[in-house]
Amino acid sequence: MSLRLKSRWHKDKHRSLDEISSAIGFIIWKIAANGLLELENEGFVTYSNDHRLEVMSEYLAFMLQVADRMAYERMENEDRAEFVNGLAGYLAMTFVENKQELLGAGDYRTPFIELLNQRAEQYAPLTFADNEAKIDFLRLFGESIEAVMGDKDRQWITQYIIEIEAPPAVKRLAKSMNDLFS
């Protein structure tokens, strides 16, 4: 399935890091939602809306780390921290809104932020270079998705994520970030 993403500003003017992080957050959400649909279209089974959002949370954590690595190559540390924090905030807000809409009221933000922080520590020592996630980076993503999928899908999902799902998602985000930061 082809995913169309708008990643250019309508008018040329200077954009704040907050505006850029919100735009990138929206794009990451769309990439993650598309990734979830692709998994389901390939026959991988999700059991409920809550399960779907659990899978989405792993996509979002992965894509946040990809965006952080891409930002590292183009920004000073202070700007990068502002961008990544704004992006994480946008993703958390969107995740919580969706969780509340589907499952009702609850504290969904705290566990989501804890997941983002946990994954940030796990991805930190892994390899990412030239806007490309290397095999160890992709393997963690695949294993994270595998951990939330049912037993039926566990033997195939990591390889599917590494070989088929993650590389185009990283390329889409790289293109979008290049477009929005230019």
CA distance 157 to 135: 15
Q: From CA 164, how far away is CA 91, in angstroms rounded?
A: 24
Using the predicted structure, report yes or no on whether residue 2 has a pLDDT greater than 70.
no
- Whether the model pTM is above 0.85: yes
| Percent of the chain scoring above 90 in pLDDT | 81
User: Which band of pLDDT confidence, cut at 50, 70 and 90, is reported for residue 13?
Assistant: low
Q: Which two tokens stand for residue 56?
A: 């989405």
Q: For residues 94 and 29, is the Cβ–Cβ distance under 8 A?
A: yes
Query: How many whole angstroms separate alpha carbon 144 and alpha carbon 141?
Result: 5
pLDDT band at 150 (very low <50, low <70, confident <90, very high): confident
pLDDT of 156 above 80: yes
Write out pLDDT tens, residues 96-105.
999 999 999 9
Average pLDDT, rounded, for the chain? 91
pLDDT higher than 90, residue 15: no
Q: How confident is the model at residue 1 (pLDDT cuts 50, 70, 90)?
A: very low
Which DSSP symbol is given to 163?
I
More confident residue, 117 or 43: 117
Burial of 24 (0-12, 13-18, 19+ CB in 10 A): buried
The rounded distance, in Å, linking the Cα atoms of 157 and 113 is: 25
Q: Which two tokens stand for residue 42?
A: 């390939």
Q: With a cut of 60, say whether residue 158 has pLDDT above it.
A: yes
Q: Residue 70 is inside which H or E element, if any? A: helix 49-72
pLDDT confidence of residue 14: 62
Per-residue pLDDT tens for 38-49?
999 999 999 999
- Which long-range contacts (C-beta less than 8 Å, at least 24 apart) are formed by 145-153? 145/39, 145/55, 145/58, 145/59, 148/51, 148/54, 148/55, 148/58, 149/44, 149/45, 149/46, 149/55, 150/45, 150/47, 152/45, 153/44, 153/45
Query: Is residue 59 within 8 Å of 35, Cβ to Cβ?
Result: yes
The predicted pLDDT at position 166 comes to 97
